[in-house]
Structure 1
């Protein structure tokens, strides 16, 4: 049997048997292997393994699926953020307001693009950036605000946009987790100047390694990103920034997408709608089983969702006071979990020089202490979800029913 298609129990990093891994796509690959193999053979026959015809085919397919005018494939979601910030005109020293509760790449991308991250707290009910906290974070050096669409919901784009307009700020979206999320029919990442997608393997649409994309309706942003991902080249020559009266040569980087990743993603894209629907079913099953248990403070299904916004579940969180003990209990039962995220960004050592202190963003800090992600992917069975819920209930009720 091809090892990429193997299934069954796994081992965690300490070698402990995990009967229900946090993430596993072996069944997906078993089902899609003929299509994946055919696409990979096409890549081999073409002989162009990076930035080739398969990547271009994926870009066009994603433009149709998301409704984006432009999709620019790159080698990771993180690079997509850096290229988006640069293409949107971020200058050295410009401040970008980002949430304190998100993956570290949201803020480090700002640094790598030459800017300075400025943090804001999250909403009282939900995990998106709080527009009121954004308002308080704005200074004369602020150039942009970058909300993050986390886990299963869009950020409050209406509120963020109001603040941005009042201060003349550019809005960009870290939509790395948000494929399939829409507001009024408009896909995440297209509710502003531009956004990104990550195709990290565990994402709703995942590759077999790192890959990402930038999406935008802005022609100049797209063209600059295309050049920047390929050492500043347009075709085989160095190119100038578009729309600048006194153009200079783009100092680009090497962030091209591999065609083998595009081959996998194209095969999986055909099943994306079905996978999104299955994730929703599994998340709803979690909601029904867990929402009334003692000690469960929040589950995603309890959060308000505005009319016209499509909920797409990438991660299913529960919040409990003794999060680490629950994670240990589930690990002992052979169930994998993940902590999203163990420390808020304003308290990360790499940002200590910015001068933030514990207590600055209490909602973000609380969630970092209490949130635990349970297994969620399209290959899970109802019986596996029930087993996870049984163990959560056993932990929270002391073994009673």
Structure 2
């Protein structure tokens, strides 16, 4: 029976309600600034400096989105036709389409069955003389095994591109997400942990030459000092001054919001860990290398659980219902006869629960009790 209580949304429409005045002030400030510079202005520079200090890294370059951040890195590294980049077989489309976009070939490696991030052993088995880079992605609430992947890249002379789009604020073994690779990225699309009211991303790197090239590529190949002098074939991937102003003002609350996400996630995991025998498995517990942008269960009866949650007043979401090698756009690039059983299982079983920081304790408990109730009920007879 459907509950009469208001539905707890997965994508909350009031995500920026507390920031309404902040956003309006940012729009007015930029729009009335005598400089009249709406992209790549002094606010963007200050935002880059803030993140550079946060991460204790050489450079941060703001750009149009997390996806184009990956494209800029691949271009700056000279990865092109004939090259291969090893990526996870489970995750978001940019892991494959950015590689294909520079003419290279994505090579899909299977994932760890519990953490859902790329399996380093599976990745190593796919290295060939054509391999130029590894591109692991942090997934849901777990960072990839960056120490092993860093060692793997070094051992084989490969570039390491860290897709840390979802993981801002996460720290693994004392080192921030985004700083393990030769370059990393963050995304600021609204549902990310440090999201904003629009698209945006950054490239993070400790390589000054790579940073210099990325800065040119994001702005049509111009070097910044000489407008209309184009040194490279670049992109239009420039950061918006309104978003920069908004993020600068909102940044002081990031730690508090991340802590609330982690608190909700810890509650879920504590309550759901005993459910493995009933076919419901939470992500691994802990805080090291964790980034609770999304909280994702594995459920053997995923679609039934989703319906059960909806009937009990809680929305949920499926990321991602098909492994990348099976997507129509990417299947032609997949190796014939390839096998990705863990990625395929994740696509069948993953289900994400609400974890945004302004959930009340009562709402968190409603979601929790709904999952527990589903697990306790007998499975239907086939």
TM-score by length of 1: 0.87
Is 1:98 the counterpart of 2:87? The answer is: yes
Counterpart residue number, 2:264:
282
Is 1:187 the counterpart of 2:176? The answer is: yes
Is 1:261 the counterpart of 2:238? The answer is: no
- Structure 1 residue 232: deviation in Å? 0.4
Counterpart residue number, 1:319:
298
Alignment match of 2:139 (pick from 143, 150, 164) = 150
Question: Residues 18 and 323 from structure 1, CA distance in 2 versus in 1: closer, same or farther, beyond 3 angstroms?
Answer: farther
Alignment match of 1:172 (pick from 158, 161, 172) = 161
Contact 2:150 2:180 in 1 (8 A): no
Unaligned runs of 5+ in 1: 1-16, 241-248
Tell me the secondary structure at the aligned position of residue 125 of structure 2.
helix
Alignment match of 1:139 (pick from 128, 134, 145) = 128
Tell me the secondary structure at the aligned position of residue 274 of structure 2.
coil
**Hey, what's the Cα distance between the residues in 2 that align with 1:211 and 1:25?**
20
Question: Residues 116 and 239 from structure 1, CA distance in 2 versus in 1: closer, same or farther, beyond 3 angstroms?
Answer: farther
Mean Cα deviation higher: 189-198 or 120-129? 120-129
Correspondence list, 1:304-383, <5 A: 309-356=288-335, 360-383=339-362
Counterpart residue number, 1:299:
282
- Structure 1 residue 85: deviation in Å? 1.1
RMSD: 2.2
Tell me the secondary structure at the aligned position of residue 372 of structure 1.
strand
Contact 1:70 1:216 in 2 (8 A): yes
Counterpart residue number, 1:125:
114
Question: Residues 399 and 37 from structure 1, CA distance in 2 versus in 1: closer, same or farther, beyond 3 angstroms?
Answer: farther
**Hey, what's the Cα distance between the residues in 2 that align with 1:53 and 1:166?**
41
Tell me the secondary structure at the aligned position of residue 114 of structure 2.
coil
Contact 1:157 1:191 in 2 (8 A): yes
Counterpart residue number, 1:41:
28
**Hey, what's the Cα distance between the residues in 1 that align with 2:207 and 2:142?**
24
- Structure 1 residue 357: deviation in Å? 6.3
- Structure 1 residue 53: deviation in Å? 2.0
What are the Cα deviations for residues 195-243 of structure 1, in whole angstroms up to 9, with x where unaligned?
0000111000001121111111111111111110110011244567xxx
Counterpart residue number, 2:371:
392
The size of the alignment, in residue pairs, is: 372
Alignment match of 2:71 (pick from 71, 82, 98) = 82
Counterpart residue number, 2:10:
22
Contact 1:131 1:159 in 2 (8 A): yes
Mean Cα deviation higher: 45-54 or 276-285? 45-54
